[in-house]
Structure 1
């Protein structure tokens, strides 16, 4: 029996097709989660989170006006970057239908939080992120591991030539470029709004993002000289990118890559390609609850505060069915990521056999 095969507890199990057993495995876990009430909405939590985060956003701009022309504004810029990351996490939760039972309320909450506050396109994010959730780390299907400044898959690394190929062998040490993730997200959002004419509620998103950027730049240059205004934007964008990029990269980069022609059942597809991050309440806050990435991928509409409660059920279920469950520290994840990026052209394409991630299994 392979390490990833389910345990057979009775002779009758051998007559059940493997695919049926795998589907039944997820159904069993899903029933446990529902019985525990972990899919119920958490209105008190989310309304408190939304109100306090928006209040912090407003408070930063009030302090900005009182502080005036000062280099201490860079402290507020860092605070703004952190608050915008929290707003983006709330937009992410709402896009996943975690906040309200109404799809319409969730869509518009995400659209307002993402566009009007964070300056990101809800429509662009939904398209990209939905494809990622459907096929995490699957080559040719997951946009998060497609061609970019980094080669995330062996095929991309092996296709590079000349200087690009030589740099790929050291690309892990260029990972501080993650500070530019915030800028890249804004550029992708604007490009989508310009080129995708059929995007749902496109003009609302154009109005939100145009108003947001216009107001942001206007206020900065009314209070600060150009040099300080540019420094403010730089600090804010760098911390925003670090918090968002640091969250999403630790969840999947360095985990097994799925070949384009391989089919894997839902349970294993979500668990084997995801990595949880330890660290307690501070880590949960800083990562918007996405440190429980395995649980989030299995139940994407589960309210954020319930992910921690679901972890014990998921762990026990994975152990029962011999499904590898990966969890490590934040720094442990980055060690694995850097090592993977520097050796990606030789990485295994078998998600059931990955020596690199084996050392981080619980």
Structure 2
């Protein structure tokens, strides 16, 4: 596989212009690109909710039905902590202090996923080769079962994918905890990116997984007054709630109508500048909804995030106006759905389109 390259063209000036304007926005306002007071309040809210729910469950002071409800809520808060805290920290955008980013990044391991593996697959690969088949493995939702781009193989079972895709998204976090991180870690390459891990990296992966298994499996079985099958139901309910929340949000950023899945030519080139490629493969939804902005950690504004991953998501609403105006000036796409429901319907239509092709 040839090394992939992005080609410059007249629209290449789009990114230089929008970056200059965004820089001027922060410089003129003398404001930080990292977390502000509002961001720290959000962080305190989600971390408090996460640790409080875990503590209440592990206290063994509640009945099984109450614990089941709290387990599902804990799963949702796990997703929200990932969206709002860990995602920014792993990108290095939460704080200008590397230690602060490192500490907040490590919380990702308590959600069942490896911060180290995510940094490779998401930050290094997905953000560079967004929606490019054979390179961006983030778009490989469930090979064989789900098809979302023309380059993926067709299987007869996919004729039903618009029905079973959404329940399948619920398995996202449990797959992370027990399968995905190990698989990605031991691959020779992620996409076309060669992987090399040190012994320290390997030890950290297994220690972080061991800590998660102890806190969320061993300790609950030791202290809770529940049967083994009741524990399994609660554990799965937590992960299904977490996975479903994560899966829906992730898919609405890149797999909706209007987004491209461009394949490189035989020479290994993508016929767009990198920033223009990001605009063609990324979408926003519910951009003006404060509820979405608060709970989804800026992931409803993926356009701004992909162009400026080193800017904390708390600033996306303000720089979004700059990005949208500049895109209009350069005739560059700015893909967005007005509401979460509209984006969800658009994603469903994508699934159904490819389902019909498999019929």
Instruction: Tell me which interval the TM-score lies in, with the shorter structure as reference length.
Output: 0.7 to 0.9
Larger RCO: 1 or 2 (CA < 8 Å, sep 6+): 2
For the pair 1:266 / 2:263, whether they are aligned, the reply is no
Count matched residues: 322
Equivalence map 1:175-190=2 (5 Å): 175-176=165-166, 177-186=168-177, 187-190=179-182
Which deviates further from its counterpart, 327-336 or 35-44? 35-44
1:239-280: per-residue Cα shift (whole Å, max 9, x none)? 100111111100001321101223311221111111111161
Match of 1:246 in 2: 248
Equivalence map 1:108-187=2 (5 Å): 108-110=103-105, 112-115=106-109, 117-129=110-122, 130-146=124-140, 148=143, 149-156=145-152, 159-160=153-154, 165-176=155-166, 177-186=168-177, 187=179
Match of 2:349 in 1: 339
**Unaligned 5+ runs, structure 2:** 1-6, 188-195
Match of 1:354 in 2: none
Relative distance call for 1:345 and 1:19 in structure 2 (3 A) is farther
Offset at residue 346 of structure 1 (A):
8.9
Which deviates further from its counterpart, 312-321 or 30-39? 30-39
Contact 1:140–1:260, Cα closer than 8 Å, also in 2 = no
C-alpha distance in 1 between matches for 2:356 and 2:264: 17
Equivalence map 1:12-51=2 (5 Å): 19=8, 21-37=10-26, 40-51=33-44
Contact 2:114–2:208, Cα closer than 8 Å, also in 1 = no
Match of 1:216 in 2: 216
C-alpha distance in 2 between matches for 1:39 and 1:260: 37
C-alpha distance in 2 between matches for 1:26 and 1:74: 48
Offset at residue 155 of structure 1 (A):
2.2
Offset at residue 321 of structure 1 (A):
1.1
Offset at residue 237 of structure 1 (A):
0.5
Contact 1:39–1:301, Cα closer than 8 Å, also in 2 = no
Offset at residue 153 of structure 1 (A):
1.8
C-alpha distance in 2 between matches for 1:298 and 1:62: 38
Match of 2:340 in 1: 330
SS in 2 for 1:106: helix
1:64-117: per-residue Cα shift (whole Å, max 9, x none)? 21533422211101221122112212211111111122445424431x1111x2
Match of 2:193 in 1: none
SS in 2 for 1:71: helix
**Unaligned 5+ runs, structure 1:** 1-17, 348-362
Task: State which of 308, 320, 323 in structure 1 corresponds to 2:317.
Answer: 308
Match of 2:260 in 1: 256
Relative distance call for 1:264 and 1:104 in structure 2 (3 A) is farther
C-alpha distance in 2 between matches for 1:172 and 1:326: 22
TM norm structure 1: 0.81
Match of 2:207 in 1: 207
Offset at residue 199 of structure 1 (A):
6.7
C-alpha distance in 1 between matches for 2:69 and 2:322: 41
1:152-200: per-residue Cα shift (whole Å, max 9, x none)? 22121xx33xxxx222233122122111111122221244567775376
Offset at residue 231 of structure 1 (A):
1.5
C-alpha distance in 1 between matches for 2:41 and 2:215: 26
Which deviates further from its counterpart, 31-40 or 337-346? 337-346
